[in-house]
Amino acid sequence: MGKTMDLSQYSLASTLGIPVKKLLSKLEIWDAHSHIGTDKDGHAIGPTAFLAQMKANHVQRAVAFPLNTPDDPNFTKSNDQIIQIAKKHKEIIPFFRLDPKKEWEKEFDRVLDQEFQGIKLHPLSQNFPLNDPEFRKICSRAQDAKLVLLIHLGFGVKNTADHIFRIATEFPKLRIILGHAGFVDVEEVIKAVGDFENVLFDTSGIRVFDICELFQHLDDRRIAFGSDVPYFTLDVAIYSLLDTALLMGKSQKAIKRIFHDNLVRWLT
């Protein structure tokens, strides 16, 4: 994408007389969902570019994990790259990726004593169903290791609500971030796990109308801002959430929770 535009001029908040840039510069923002690296589909972003985007958009810290890297079936190289970046840049909260269909236990054990704070799983890219026994084993190990589990629940994943309910019930101490808030089945997912304390809905890559749905039916403590960089742009993600929050009458306290506090509670 070319030169970054100043989205604040198009923001609803500015029309409501709210000094958007000032508000954003004061608001601490943590991003629950971003990628660094190269994907099989050609998308790519390096740490320098990502950190520059974070700085430009007043994002203090971001959960980051590898993309669906080509020629790295067990994510070994990509996980190493993420931890190296996180060691250099405190802004990055490192998560590692696994493929439940490969030798995931070997990779899990290898990275366990490193400083990863969570795991990212992608049922579509790694082609596994949510009732896969290996997936459940990963959930169990993540719970024991006190790692956060972020699972892609966006495009291409079906019948999510029942499976997530089972996982969140069976592993009550496992902290689960629902990537893209399960927007393909959002009403059912909210009904199933909306009041679970071990579940957070991340707002990455979702429609404004789905954000409304989350605000309408969920406690503010259950929602966390996410960007989905490099698939989504950080500024559009922030303004989509901020404008919708203002439109839905969310208080400054609630906005602070969503952009920052809820994720801080889970990660250090």
Partner 1 sequence: MKKLSSFDVLGLRVRNMLPMTKRRRERFLFYMRIYNHTVRASANFLNENTKRGVYFLQIIKELTEHTTDYIEEDLRKQIHEIVNKVLKDKNNINQLIKKQDFQGRINTQLLIIENLCVLRLMKLLVE
Give the footprint of partner 1 on residues 238-257 (CB under 8 A): 239-240, 243, 247
Which of 160, 228, 254, 257 lies at the binding interface for partner 1 (CB under 8 A)?
Answer: 228
Both tokens assigned to 124? 């579509």
| Other CB atoms within 10 A of residue 217 CB | 14
Helical H segments across the chain, by residue range? 12-15, 20-26, 47-56, 76-88, 104-111, 133-144, 160-170, 186-193, 208-217, 234-247, 252-256, 262-266
Which of 27, 44, 83, 124 lies at the binding interface for partner 1 (CB under 8 A)?
Answer: 124
Q: Which of the stretches 52-60, 106-114, 162-170, 229-237 binds partner 1 when contact is defined by CB under 8 A? A: 229-237
Whether the CB-CB separation of 109 and 130 falls below 8 Å is answered with: no
Kindly state whether residue 27 participates in binding partner 1, applying the rule CB under 8 A. no
Supply angle C-alpha 98, 48, 13, rounded to 5: 95
Integer distance in angstroms from the first to the last C-alpha of the chain? Answer: 32
> Nearest 5°: phi and psi at 60?
-80, -45
DSSP for 213-230, written as a single string: HHHHHS-GGGEE----BT
Q: Which of the stretches 77-85, 165-173, 202-210, 217-225 binds partner 1 when contact is defined by CB under 8 A? A: 202-210
Nearest distance in Å: CB 106, partner 1: 25
Kindly state whether residue 49 participates in binding partner 1, applying the rule CB under 8 A. no
Give 146 or 207: the residue with its C-beta nearer to partner 1.
207
Kindly state whether residue 68 participates in binding partner 1, applying the rule CB under 8 A. yes
Helices H / strands E in the chain, number of each:
12, 9
Give 6 or 195: the residue with its C-beta nearer to partner 1.
6
Kindly state whether residue 26 participates in binding partner 1, applying the rule CB under 8 A. no
In whole angstroms, what is the distance from residue 263 CA to residue 93 CA? 11
Which of 88, 236, 248, 253 lies at the binding interface for partner 1 (CB under 8 A)?
Answer: 236
What are the residues whose beta carbons fall under 8 Å from the beta carbon of 102, sequence distance 6 or more? 73, 74
Kindly state whether residue 73 participates in binding partner 1, applying the rule CB under 8 A. no
Kindly state whether residue 1 participates in binding partner 1, applying the rule CB under 8 A. yes
Nearest to 259 by CA among 34, 93, 94, 28: 28
Kindly state whether residue 101 participates in binding partner 1, applying the rule CB under 8 A. no
Kindly state whether residue 207 participates in binding partner 1, applying the rule CB under 8 A. yes
Kindly state whether residue 10 participates in binding partner 1, applying the rule CB under 8 A. yes
Give 108 or 232: the residue with its C-beta nearer to partner 1.
232
Kindly state whether residue 195 participates in binding partner 1, applying the rule CB under 8 A. no
In whole angstroms, what is the distance from residue 151 CA to residue 128 CA? 12
Residues of this chain that bind partner 1 (CB under 8 A): 1-2, 5-6, 9-12, 15-16, 41, 43, 68, 124-125, 154-156, 205-209, 228, 231-233, 236, 239-240, 243, 247
